[in-house]
Structure 1
Amino acid sequence: MRLQFQWDYEADVVVVGFGYAGALSAIAAHDAGADVLVLEKAPENFAGGNSRVSGGGMRVPINIHDAIKYYKAVCFGTVPDEDIAAMADAMTKVPGILRWLGIEIAELGLPRMRHPVAGGESFRLYSIAKNGKPVFEPIAAVGSGDLLYGALKQRVIDRRIKVWYETPAKKLVQDPLTKEILGVVAARRDKTINIKARKAVVLACGGYENNYEMWINFNFPGIKVYPWGSPYNTGDGIKMALDVGAALWHMVSIEWDCPCIKIPSEIYGCAVQTRVVGAMRPRVGSYIVVNKHGKRFMNECKTLVHRKEPLELTHFDQERLEYPNIPFYLIFDEAFRLQGPLVKNTRIGWHNIFNLYEWSHDNSAEIDKGWIVKADTPRELAKKLNINPEELEKTIISYNKNCEAKMDPDFHRPAETMIPLNSPPFYGVELALTITNTQGGPKRNAKAQVLDTENKPIPRLYAAGELGSFWGFVYPGGSNIAEAIALGYIAGKNAATERPWNKASMHSMKG
């Protein structure tokens, strides 16, 4: 006996998520003749996911054969060779896709990947452009992600593609016998609605960085991280895909960024980053980073952006059952305070794009708020921060001697960045780890088809973007955006070519 399923709305292709991948999926499906509906969890003002607050740089290969070599090296066997080859081909088409949409892009002068492996020289970095000039400066962390999102959103509007904001998808509807995906259950205006997808569903709803349960199960239990991007990324697509039998991959592949200031990050629910530590451009000044024991433990100038080697910050002491370097603190003096704000307003990250808080130019407002702790001596500062006073004093004395010797024998910080920390009063601020995004999610192939646990496509289900990204271990900077565009286009086009499912074959359904 067949269970009758009541549909409240229907479209040929339903796209879940409205960042770069979702926008490209919707556009490609529409232009292939499909009737498209986009479901977006966030209100319109905050839509766009991590895409919108990204740097906007797109790393694109110019030689497929070299790209295959490079992608094999960075994926470390986590992606099948045939999919790597197909992805390399798809990624070369990204500039052409954007130009087809009438979006001006330009090449930046940063062609080579940071990793010195075969094929890394055959890449180019692009961004959206104005009057022939790229709108992107990676070293200064000035991004163009918001501009690219605006351009893609306008192309969706021009096509009159329906976008339902504040409509989170909750479940996929699946035929229990054929395993076809028939639609989506969503929440809209305080009601549960059933949306029929006559041809296919595309999941493009981001990662899980704001889902604490997923974080502690796949990464570092006991460490609280503050996401740099959209607070709406809570692993919804992962849960929906699991419910219909999808395999997962790359769940432990995460991307770090510069640390954040803990108190305002807690207040605003996202990373309020300082680029004093761990930035791509080393900061010169009288500052150090210490752990709760008052000791230095890292080169403060080593970039943390998209790092993959074990961070000193995530080192775990199994005998003491603790992360000895968390919490950690930025310690500096009056001379450094007067150099400028600890947090500069850039055009990257949720905090900056939505102007949640503007840091004072001399850090005085944050001292008054208690976010930055002030003291006349290092020992007094240590007591206020609840760290070891004697050790902090020793650490500062040792650091100052290293400055005079123009060397850092313990952590190899560049000598030109080291200025003696000896100008009272002294300051300290607790830092926390920042995560840019997660790469894991439902496993997919280069056709953007979601795969089950036997590596077979789940009929009528596609995925694109960082939800199940191809980057399974080392992340090639700028490749999430290029992948979102390439796979979003492929997912939408392939979804539109599916034949509508036959009502007569519909059995009792799981949803």
Structure 2
Amino acid sequence: MNTNDDSKDYNTTDIKLISTEVLIIGAGNAGLMAAAAAAEKGVKTLVIEKEHTINLLRLSLGGVDTNAQKRAGIKINKFELVEYLAAFAQHNVDEGLIYHWVNNSAEAVNWVEDNVLQPHGAHLRAEPDIGEKNPIYKAFPTQNDATKDDNTFASYGKWFQEKVEEMGVELLFDTSLVKLEVDNGTVTGIVAKNLIDDKYFKIRATKGVILCTGGYSANKELLSKWNPLALKKNVYNDSPRNDGAGIMAAMNVGAIKDEAPAGCTFDRGLVPIGTRTEDMYVQTETYQDWLWLASHPLLKVNVRGERFANESTPYEFIVNAASKQKGYLYAMIWDSNFGKYAAQFHTLGCARIGFPGYMANVEKLKADTEQYVDKGLIVKAKTLEELAEKLHLPVENLLKTVARVNELSAQGVDQDFGKEAYRLTPVAQAPYYGCMLGGRLLCTFDGLRVNKKMEVLDEDYAPINHLYAAGNDSGGFFFGSYPDRVPGTAASHAQTFGRLAGKQAAQN
């Protein structure tokens, strides 16, 4: 597949030409950090972005030995952390790149705190280890949260944009990458398109081009080619900007990418009853029909009404388990005591109750859940038989499954799937609730192969001169599912490698 229009003649004398030293494509976590790093070196820096605004900057940043962690007395064994990440990926990664992230992450995280947050009265709060003894929840306290009051998140995207503009970086919005231009093996710039007037123009970059356009989760054709299972198990894409343009542009000039897919999926995609997963792939930047409760370890059953996995797993794992079931979707079943159960679950990450979760308390979680009853995406019933019929589940099977779960809850031992006793809860108090769920693809991670200078590699694993990649355009770091027990890794990977790419391009 070729996403660039190579049939056009861009070598005419009337096409507009602008020049810069470092050109960055994409204004997100990686792109803005790359711009800041290049501008610090005193070089002329231009960022283009196909949308009207910068992309969302993540509020939780991973890192090792950050200033926030030092203030909190948190120390992470980097060798244990790297081995965990490599083992999580079955070593289908470039382990040297993971060490490179660990060794450079603190500089990037500290830069954000010192230059973007503190001038606005905000700071980073380091999150401690989760203290969970279940081996499936082995985790590392890598998370640093942007906040002003240690109780709520501080959104800093606007501040970051203002900072790079103060540093002299120019941002061009509504401008898309069409193709990379190469002269004697060196990337010299790009052909771009103004999406407002539909006119093409060229940008010459004398020091380098840095690809930071994100992955390809919005591109169903590329998903079908590179990660077809993602289309089957996900019903939403929460990054509609990510069309794979940067990856494809590089491959069109000889770059190579990861051979195996990787991505980040959340288990919070509400599905209208009766929908088939192959008929639904909603592109949304607003987290449409996003159910926070879905990440809690309540009863999950397949479309046959049968329990199929331990519900007490990291977010993506239950979606993976459902992909081995008929229809790829699954139902969640609970009763009127769900607020009480949520308080005892000790749910981790962004689904936890209280900061740095997004539900401040149980009452907020209950209100968030009830809104979807009004929308018809959650069904409510006086009996389990009625609930099964509304969910299009086999009534007899669901009754049998619930009876078994209630029996196990009374015993306090999950003899079927080994869920912890404090997360093993009955479905016994009417009214009963249920919904159909599928995955939400936040992003893809299988990107272009790069070296430690963030240079994009060709088929001989040699760098393509003056071409760099960071963020989800760069590969070699993830494999399969996202390791969410190392929180903030994705954002930090983007910002850290963006900073390294900006520095490297600037010194050419």
TM range (shorter): 0.7 to 0.9
* Alpha-carbon distance in structure 2 between the residues aligned to 1:275 and 1:40: 31
Alignment of 1:37 onto 2:39: no
Mean Cα deviation higher: 17-26 or 360-369:
360-369
**Counterpart of 2:463?**
457
- Does the 8 Å CA contact 1:288/1:330 hold for their aligned counterparts? yes
Deviation at 1:471, TM superposition (A): 1.9
**Counterpart of 1:138?**
none
Alignment of 1:178 onto 2:185: yes
What secondary structure does 2:438 align onto?
A: strand
- Does the 8 Å CA contact 2:116/2:159 hold for their aligned counterparts? no
- Does the 8 Å CA contact 1:7/1:196 hold for their aligned counterparts? no
**Counterpart of 1:214?**
222
Per-residue Cα deviation, 1:389-417 (whole angstroms, up to 9, x for no partner): 11111111211222222222112222223
* Alpha-carbon distance in structure 1 between the residues aligned to 2:12 and 2:133: 55
Per-residue Cα deviation, 1:424-478 (whole angstroms, up to 9, x for no partner): 3433211111223221111111111111111111111111112224423364432
Of 463, 476, 500, the residue aligned with 1:490 is 500
What secondary structure does 2:36 align onto?
A: helix
Deviation at 1:59, TM superposition (A): 2.3
What secondary structure does 2:265 align onto?
A: strand
**Counterpart of 2:24?**
15
What secondary structure does 2:32 align onto?
A: helix
| 1:481–1:362 distance in 2 versus 1, CA, 3 Å | closer
Of 406, 415, 438, the residue aligned with 1:409 is 415
* Alpha-carbon distance in structure 2 between the residues aligned to 1:344 and 1:85: 29
Deviation at 1:91, TM superposition (A): 2.6
- Does the 8 Å CA contact 1:441/1:469 hold for their aligned counterparts? yes
- Does the 8 Å CA contact 1:402/1:408 hold for their aligned counterparts? yes
**Counterpart of 1:328?**
330
Of 45, 55, 60, the residue aligned with 2:64 is 60
* Alpha-carbon distance in structure 2 between the residues aligned to 1:160 and 1:436: 32
TM alignment of 1:70-109, pairs within 5 A: 72-74=86-88, 76-80=90-94, 83-98=97-112, 101=115, 103-104=117-118, 105-109=123-127
Q: Which amino acid aligns with 2:128?
A: L
Q: Which amino acid aligns with 1:157?
A: E
Mean Cα deviation higher: 392-401 or 416-425:
416-425
**Counterpart of 1:431?**
437
What TM-score comes out, normalization by structure 2 length? 0.77
- Does the 8 Å CA contact 2:267/2:319 hold for their aligned counterparts? no
What secondary structure does 1:429 align onto?
A: strand
Per-residue Cα deviation, 1:18-71 (whole angstroms, up to 9, x for no partner): 112111111121221221211112222xx324xx2x342222257776666566
| 1:71–1:313 distance in 2 versus 1, CA, 3 Å | closer
Per-residue Cα deviation, 1:183-205 (whole angstroms, up to 9, x for no partner): 23233313222222232111111
Of 478, 481, 489, the residue aligned with 1:479 is 489
Deviation at 1:259, TM superposition (A): 2.7
| 1:277–1:435 distance in 2 versus 1, CA, 3 Å | same
- Does the 8 Å CA contact 1:228/1:271 hold for their aligned counterparts? no
* Alpha-carbon distance in structure 2 between the residues aligned to 1:248 and 1:429: 38
Structure 1 residue runs of 5 or longer lacking an equivalent are 136-141, 316-322, 499-511
* Alpha-carbon distance in structure 1 between the residues aligned to 2:21 and 2:34: 13
Q: Which amino acid aligns with 1:126?
A: N
Deviation at 1:84, TM superposition (A): 4.8
TM alignment of 1:288-437, pairs within 5 A: 288-305=299-316, 307=317, 311-315=320-324, 323-324=325-326, 326-336=328-338, 361=367, 363-437=369-443
| 1:388–1:71 distance in 2 versus 1, CA, 3 Å | closer
Mean Cα deviation higher: 81-90 or 453-462:
81-90
What secondary structure does 1:209 align onto?
A: coil
**Counterpart of 1:502?**
none
Per-residue Cα deviation, 1:319-339 (whole angstroms, up to 9, x for no partner): xxxx42622111223443898
- Does the 8 Å CA contact 1:40/1:163 hold for their aligned counterparts? yes
- Does the 8 Å CA contact 1:207/1:233 hold for their aligned counterparts? yes
* Alpha-carbon distance in structure 1 between the residues aligned to 2:32 and 2:40: 12
Alignment of 1:156 onto 2:164: yes
- Does the 8 Å CA contact 2:238/2:283 hold for their aligned counterparts? no
TM alignment of 1:198-209, pairs within 5 A: 198-209=206-217
Deviation at 1:223, TM superposition (A): 0.9
Structure 2 residue runs of 5 or longer lacking an equivalent are 1-9, 66-75, 274-279, 344-350
- Does the 8 Å CA contact 2:24/2:35 hold for their aligned counterparts? yes
* Alpha-carbon distance in structure 1 between the residues aligned to 2:450 and 2:402: 51
Q: Which amino acid aligns with 1:480?
A: A
**Counterpart of 1:506?**
none
* Alpha-carbon distance in structure 1 between the residues aligned to 2:339 and 2:114: 49
**Counterpart of 2:144?**
126
* Alpha-carbon distance in structure 2 between the residues aligned to 1:243 and 1:385: 47
* Alpha-carbon distance in structure 2 between the residues aligned to 1:363 and 1:276: 7
The two structures, once aligned, show a CA RMSD in angstroms of: 3.9
What secondary structure does 1:249 align onto?
A: coil
Q: Which amino acid aligns with 1:58?
A: G
* Alpha-carbon distance in structure 2 between the residues aligned to 1:335 and 1:88: 43
Q: Which amino acid aligns with 2:291?
A: T
Per-residue Cα deviation, 1:94-146 (whole angstroms, up to 9, x for no partner): 344335636444452425999999xx99975433343xx656xxxxxx755x3
What TM-score comes out, normalization by structure 1 length? 0.77
Per-residue Cα deviation, 1:338-383 (whole angstroms, up to 9, x for no partner): 9899x9999999xx99xxxx99827555334322223333223222
- Does the 8 Å CA contact 1:298/1:411 hold for their aligned counterparts? yes
Q: Which amino acid aligns with 2:420?
A: P
**Counterpart of 1:240?**
249
Of 438, 446, 453, the residue aligned with 1:440 is 446
TM alignment of 1:497-508, pairs within 5 A: 497-498=507-508
Q: Which amino acid aligns with 1:57?
A: L
> Percent identity between the aligned chains?
25
* Alpha-carbon distance in structure 1 between the residues aligned to 2:95 and 2:84: 12
What secondary structure does 2:450 align onto?
A: coil
- Does the 8 Å CA contact 2:331/2:435 hold for their aligned counterparts? yes
Q: Which amino acid aligns with 1:209?
A: S
- Does the 8 Å CA contact 1:186/1:195 hold for their aligned counterparts? no
Deviation at 1:313, TM superposition (A): 1.2
Q: How many residues align?
A: 457
**Counterpart of 1:273?**
290
- Does the 8 Å CA contact 2:387/2:434 hold for their aligned counterparts? yes
Q: Which amino acid aligns with 1:273?
A: W
**Counterpart of 1:504?**
none
* Alpha-carbon distance in structure 2 between the residues aligned to 1:453 and 1:485: 26
